[in-house]
Structure 1
């Protein structure tokens, strides 16, 4: 078969184009740090990359849910801690009043402080996270309790809604405590204590009210223990999610990221091949008539 000059030039151009494509590929890989520039570069690796990225996105979604749940529960825990302190102070005052040795003026002072503590407990029950009331069930736009202008305490204004979050794949957790569950007993006993103090009924205080206050405190403590257990569980889950994300990102790096040393070496080889093709092309191109006339 006769090899013509045109055939040689066509082959040269084809080799130059391939060399340029290789140069461009390796340069882009080094610039981006990624081995795969388009799916056709490595279809199998592209599928692996998509799978790993989907896993990272799912872990990130779970992490955000878990962090939101943790924030809600920690806010609830802090409020229940304050409620416990308030009720313990009320109990101290009830024990003092039950002694029967206080004059009316002192009992009135105790009553006034208990009333202030009740108002404080209403504020604690109205704790918010952002603009959401944490103890109102699904009715997060309204406080669970209010005190009107006549110093009367309202009934529970929330509902029985249980707020849930998916804190791990397939694992849903209730993150809210209902105000009716946490504070109803406490407010009931506070109101009765105020009535006993108003009536100077120290017998009722000593025989009934102190024990009922203990029951109200125990209720808050029980709920707080449940909240604390949930927070611990979420923290363990968040730690595990961090580990999963680190492992998945490592695998993704192995699939996607370029081996810099190897790519630099291949770039050097491609540059040498490109220069060799250019030199070969210069020899293939025949001298022109002007070259002979010089």
Structure 2
């Protein structure tokens, strides 16, 4: 009768490889802090967590979009306020032009008012482009 000693060493070698693989997986989970690293760990939980991550990212993008829209509204509000100030100045200039008491300097004032009105119109046009 011949005793084969190779079988036992192969069995022990296979067990050692499995133990080593299991140890590597466990250490990988510990080092990353994740219970699921691949579909082989838990396929259904992985799918659920990926869907939840996608929903979270979508919500974060929606929040950024709302913040951007708020900023845009603030810019538009600032432009509208500036237009209101400009129109108030036009009103003041119009009332001054209608005042007949400044007859001697009326020509000079009208020239200045005309130039001011042109500048104001240019400002309004530039605000419209915003």
TM-score norm. by structure 1 comes to 0.38
CA distance, structure 2, for counterparts of residue 61 and residue 37 of structure 1: 25
Higher relative contact order (CA 8 A, sep 6+): 1
* 1:45-194 mapped onto 2 (5 Å cutoff): 45-103=45-103, 104-105=106-107, 106-127=109-130
C-alpha separation between the residues in 2 aligned to 1:50 and 1:109? 68
Match of 2:41 in 1: 41
Q: Which runs of 5+ in 1 are unaligned?
A: 128-294
Deviation at 1:75, TM superposition (A): 2.3
Q: Secondary structure at the match of 2:102?
A: coil
Confirm whether residue 16 of structure 1 aligns to residue 16 of structure 2.
Answer: yes
C-alpha displacement of 1:40: 1.4
Unaligned runs of 5+ residues in structure 2 are none
TM-score in terms of structure 2 length:
0.76
Give 3-state SS (helix, strand or coil) of 1:38's partner. coil
Bigger proportion of residues as helix = 2
Q: How many residues align?
A: 124
RMSD: 2.3
Deviations 1:19-41 (A, max 9, x none): 10121112222333322221110
Report the CA distance between 1:87 and its aligned residue: 0.8
Give me the whole-angstrom Cα distance separating, in 2, the residues matched to 1:124 and 1:54: 40
